[in-house]
Amino acid sequence: MSSGNAWIAAFLLLSAGAAGCRNDLQTVADFETLGTPSQVLEGAALEYSEEGKLTHRLSAARMVRSAEEPPVWEVSGGFTLDVIDDAGQIEAQLAAEHGLFLEETRFLEAQGHVVLRGSQQDTLHTDLLFWSADSDRVHTTAPVEVRTPEGILRGSGLESDARFQRYRILKPTGTFLVDTTNSTP
């Protein structure tokens, strides 16, 4: 083989090797966005509906949507989640400092000075609460304080409907007064 042919053969081998190491543009774009947000919103609200009726509204000082699928919103700077009834009124409101909202399943993890107010004036205070739209439930294993028109209930852990109308403190603590004057046999 002549030296000219050897150079041509070496060039062809290098060219074929370089072509085999190429990535398509979508693969490169996917890699470049890994770990970076796809959206950043300041002072925004997301509204969710079912069959054309508004059911929930998430408002936050700052929302960052992940680039990964399924998308996750990191909400911070204080936020509220309104649970809307069929008449378009706020039936319950959840507020916290920050949290994670899984857009696809509408599951929210709320953290930091969490307050849940129900339509019956009962108010839950805790530091961690999980809210799920598909099961229409909220729960926590953290310490809780529930303020009602009749007094304050304390304990650890709570399960409730998303509207905070029916709830159960899992491990109540403190002193409880029971009114037996109106009991019927």
pLDDT given at position 115: 97
Query: How many domains in the chain?
Result: 1
Place of tokens 């074929």: 16
Strand 72-84 and strand 90-96: the pairing is antiparallel
pLDDT given at position 22: 53
Residue 153 lies in a domain: yes
* Contact yes or no for 87/80 (Cβ under 8 A): no
pLDDT given at position 67: 86
Q: Considering only CA atoms, which of 80, 72, 76 is closest in space to residue 37?
A: 72
- Going by the DSSP 8-state scheme, the letter that residue 103 receives in this structure is T
pLDDT given at position 19: 47
The CATH code of the domain that includes 63 is 2.60.450.10
Residue 132 lies in a domain: yes
Residue 22 lies in a domain: no
CA 153/CA 126 separation, integer angstroms: 12
pTM: 0.73
The average confidence (pLDDT) of the chain is: 82
pLDDT given at position 174: 74
- Residue 68, strand partner residues: none
- Going by the DSSP 8-state scheme, the letter that residue 29 receives in this structure is H
Residue 76 lies in a domain: yes
At residue 136 the predicted structure's pLDDT band, cuts being 50, 70 and 90, is confident
Residue 49 lies in a domain: yes
pLDDT for residue 146 is more than 90? yes
Residue 111 lies in a domain: yes
How large is the average pLDDT for residues 107-119?
94
Residue 149 lies in a domain: yes
Residue 173, both tokens: 């603590």
CA 143/CA 135 separation, integer angstroms: 22
Domain that includes residue 85, residue range? 42-173
Residue 142 lies in a domain: yes
Per-residue pLDDT reduced to its tens digit, 46-65: 888 888 899 889 899 999 99
CA 143/CA 141 separation, integer angstroms: 7
